[in-house]
Amino acid sequence: MRRIACIDIGTVTARLAVADVEGGRVVRLAKHSEICNLGENVDQTGELKQEAMERVFLCARGYVESAREAKAEVVCCTLTSAARDARNARELGAALGSIGLEPVIIPGELEGTLTFLGVAQDFRGKRIMVADNGGGSTELALGSLGTDGAFDLGFVTSVDVGCRRVTEKYLSAGPLPSADDLAAAHEFAASAFRGAVERGGLRAAKSARSDKDAPAAPEELVVCGGTVTSLVAIDARLDPYDPARVHLATLSRSRVEELEALLAGLTVEERAALPGLQEKRAPVMLGGAVAVAELMRQTGFERLVVSESDLLFGLALAAAAELCGVESPVVWKPALRPLR
Q: Kindly report the CATH number assigned to the domain that includes residue 87.
A: 3.30.420.40
* Domain match, 298 and 332 both: no
Count of domains for the chain? 2
* Domain match, 173 and 261 both: yes
* Domain match, 177 and 88 both: no
* Domain match, 174 and 68 both: no
* Domain match, 177 and 220 both: yes
| pLDDT per residue as tens, the chain (340 positions) | 999 999 999 999 999 999 999 988 899 999 999 999 999 999 999 999 999 999 999 999 999 999 999 999 999 999 999 999 999 999 999 999 999 999 999 999 999 999 999 999 999 999 999 999 999 999 999 999 998 888 999 999 999 999 999 999 999 888 999 999 999 999 999 999 999 999 999 999 876 554 555 558 899 999 999 999 999 999 999 999 999 999 999 999 999 999 999 999 999 999 999 999 999 999 999 999 999 999 999 999 999 999 999 999 999 999 999 999 998 888 899 999 999 7
Backbone torsions φ then ψ of 2, nearest 5 degrees:
-115, 140
Contact yes or no for 39/82 (Cβ under 8 A): yes
Contact yes or no for 202/218 (Cβ under 8 A): yes
Range of the domain at 279: 110-306
Contact yes or no for 321/26 (Cβ under 8 A): no
Cα 74 to Cα 18: distance, rounded to the nearest angstrom: 10
* Domain match, 34 and 166 both: no
Cα 202 to Cα 194: distance, rounded to the nearest angstrom: 10
* Domain match, 131 and 210 both: yes
Cα 104 to Cα 203: distance, rounded to the nearest angstrom: 32
* Domain match, 240 and 270 both: yes
Q: 329: cis peptide before it, omega within 30°? A: no
Which one, of 169, 218, 164, 210, lies nearest residue 40 by Cα? 164
CATH number at residue 287: 3.30.420.150
* Domain match, 84 and 211 both: no
* Domain match, 332 and 255 both: no
* Domain match, 317 and 267 both: no
* Domain match, 242 and 95 both: no
